[in-house]
Structure 1
Amino acid sequence: MPTFTIAEIEQAINVWRNRQASGEDAALCPRARHLANIYGAMIYSHATTIDVSSLSAGQVEAVTTALYQQELPL
């Protein structure tokens, strides 16, 4: 099964943080927020990888878009 590493999830969060501004309340943009939930759970459980099949389609899209596409959608 394909997996993402915790480093890849962190990198994707940072791409979205740099690409899309935080809201007025300093909240992360929606894509980064969805990935932050995964990242936090991985830290809590001491996981170094996560199976792609355990993620929603939106979460997979957020990671793959951030990591593998040159032009990111706004």
Structure 2
Amino acid sequence: MVEIERAINYWCTQEPAGPDGALCARACALAAVYDPMIYERATSVAVARLTSEQVAAVRIALDLRHPQRPPP
């Protein structure tokens, strides 16, 4: 759940909101998973339940927030 929330926050800082203040497309896709998790008080969701778009949005956001450091 924390990873999805971080990814939503990441995309909200990277892509502009819609003209009506709606979340950007990637954050909106992740919110479709996050909202039911909150309602159901779930702490995790199986990757198999995510669409390929949602998986990509999480992976990109988390990889960019924590880039790999080159080995010493």
Where on the TM-score scale, by shorter chain, does this alignment land: which range? 0.7 to 0.9
Aligned residues: CA RMSD:
1.0
Gaps of 5+ in 2: 66-72
Gaps of 5+ in 1: 1-5
Amino acid in structure 2 at the alignment position of 1:34: A
| Cα distance in 1 between the residues matched to 2:52 and 2:18 | 24
Q: How do residues 61-72 of structure 1 correspond to structure 2 at under 5 angstroms?
A: 61-69=56-64
Flag the structure with higher strand content. 1
1:26 aligns with 2:21: yes
Q: How do residues 7-18 of structure 1 correspond to structure 2 at under 5 angstroms?
A: 7-18=2-13
Count matched residues: 65
Which stretches of structure 1, 4 residues or longer, exceed 4 Å deviation after superposition?
none
Deviation at 1:43, TM superposition (A): 0.4
Q: Percent identity?
A: 46
TM-score (norm 2): 0.86
| Cα distance in 2 between the residues matched to 1:62 and 1:39 | 13
TM-score (norm 1): 0.83
Deviation at 1:69, TM superposition (A): 3.2
